[in-house]
Amino acid sequence: MSRWLIMLVLAVAPATVLAQPARPAATARAQQDLRAVERRVVQVTAQHNVLATQYGAQLEAIDRLKKQRKSWRQERDLRTALSDANDTATKLAAGKAELAKANSVLAAARRTLQASVDAELASGPTPARIAELAKLKAQLAPQTTRRVSRIVLPNMEIDPTADPEELEEHIKQLLESEDQLRKQMVGLDKQAKDLDEVAKLRKQHERAGELSRRDDDQPQRTASQGGGRAATAGVSDDSPAPESSGTGNGGGGGGTGLSDPASGGAFESDATIVLADVIDATTIETLTRAQRTGDPGQRAQAAKKARDAVAGRLDQLKKKRAELEAITKSRRQRR
């Protein structure tokens, strides 16, 4: 019996030792998978942006051709341009679906790595490994959760009994708030410009579709062509308007924007929280309503209105700071 127990212990011990690196290996595989998916998202995003730029240029070319005098050459070039734009629109729609799928896979890969890290931490790794996992977990945190907090402005009243040191602390608080408001202005301005561009491209697309339908209603003069394309396809009404794309993190928009302007609208959602104590309730409500419509033009106008409101509050802070600085200087001179 004792011999059997000894043999069992000897058999299990190596298996236990071999099992120790299993969790680190799982974490390493999850990291490799995440890096591969991230590279794929970057690649798909770049391809989508190239197609969006190409599509916008094609729509502008179609618009120019529509304004030219009717001729055999003009009709031939227009048919070719419409066909090319239709092909690009089809590719753009497929690319948009592929990008959405890639971002979905990216989110799943992040969750998988997060679960692997948590499982390895629960297995009791060495202190050095715990430090590595904590660092990795911190890197993942911004990708899975975003904390949004309000900007709290300092008191705008000046204490007549405050000494210079207290006034300087007040000035410091104003400077910090000014910096926060500037960042919000940059984000809102970029959001407005991006949305204006999306709205412009969407109008171009709608105009191209309208002109294409108008041409379809008119008799087309045909002529034999020695070469070139004879395609007559028009830009479909279902063809997507080109949009800017990001790679998640809210960030597709880049800069200080928190999301791709043509999609989710997380930036407006965050702004309604961040700026709740900074701008008036009417402007906040305008942002909320515009976001719900999904219309890039309305969202751009709401972002501009919020930006201007933040700019007005920033001017107030600057004037108050200048007043405080003058009072501080005066009180120091009297000492």
- Is 325 part of a structural domain of the chain? yes
Give the model's pLDDT for residue 332.
83
Confidence of residue 141 (pLDDT cuts 50, 70, 90): confident
**Helix, strand, or coil (residue 169):** helix
Q: Cβ(113)–Cβ(34) under 8 Å?
A: yes
Looking at residue 219, what is its pLDDT? 52
pLDDT of residue 267: 66
Containing structural domain, residue 251 = 21-218+228-334
- Give the other-Cβ count within 10 Å of 20's Cβ: 11
The model's pTM: 0.47
Distance CA 197, CA 242 (A): 9
Looking at the domain assignment, is residue 99 inside a domain? Answer: yes
Calpha distance 191→296 (Å, rounded): 10
User: What is the spatial distance between Cα 185 and Cα 257, in angstroms, rounded to a whole number?
Assistant: 10
Q: How far apart are CA 332 and CA 171, in angstroms?
A: 15
What CA dihedral angle connects 101, 102, 105 and 107, to 10 degrees? -110
Query: Does residue 11 fall inside a structural domain?
Result: no
Q: If pLDDT is split at 50, 70 and 90, which confidence band does 172 have?
A: very high
Indicate the residue type of 100. Answer: A
Give the chain's domain count: 1
Mean pLDDT of the chain: 76
pLDDT of 295 > 90? The answer is: no
Task: Average the pLDDT over 136-159 and give the result.
Answer: 77
Least confident of 46-50, 205-209, 296-300: 205-209
**Token representation of residue 104:** 């979905």
Q: Own/partner pairs for 223-232, CB < 8 Å, 24+ apart? A: 223/72, 223/76, 225/76, 228/76, 228/80, 229/79, 229/80, 229/83, 230/79, 231/79, 231/80, 231/82, 231/83, 232/79, 232/82, 232/83
Determine, yes or no, domain membership for 13.
no
Least confident of 34-43, 77-86, 164-173, 196-205: 196-205
Confidence tier at 95 by pLDDT (50, 70, 90): confident
Q: Compute the 3-state secondary structure of the chain and give helix, strand, coil in percent, each to the nearest 5.
A: 75, 0, 25
Residue 216's pLDDT band (cuts 50, 70, 90): low
Q: What percent of the chain has pLDDT over 70?
A: 72
Please, which pLDDT band fits residue 147 given cuts at 50, 70 and 90?
low
Residue 8 pLDDT: 37
pLDDT band at 149 (very low <50, low <70, confident <90, very high): confident
The reply to whether 240 falls in a domain is yes
The three-state secondary structure class of 229 is coil
Q: Can you read off the two tokens belonging to residue 225?
A: 């062509």
| Closest among 64, 58, 102, 118 to 82, alpha carbons compared | 58
pLDDT confidence of 146, banded at 50, 70, 90? low
Residue 300 forms part of a structural domain: yes
**Domain membership flag for residue 1:** no
* Top-confidence residue, 193 or 264: 193
**Is 198's pLDDT higher than 80?**
no
Q: Which residue has the tokens 């690649």?
A: 43
Of 66-70, 239-243, 314-318, the poorest mean pLDDT is in 239-243
Question: Could you read off the pLDDT of 230-275 as tens digits, one per residue?
Answer: 333 344 434 444 444 443 443 333 333 333 344 444 566 788 888 9
Instruction: Say if 83 falls within a structural domain.
Output: yes
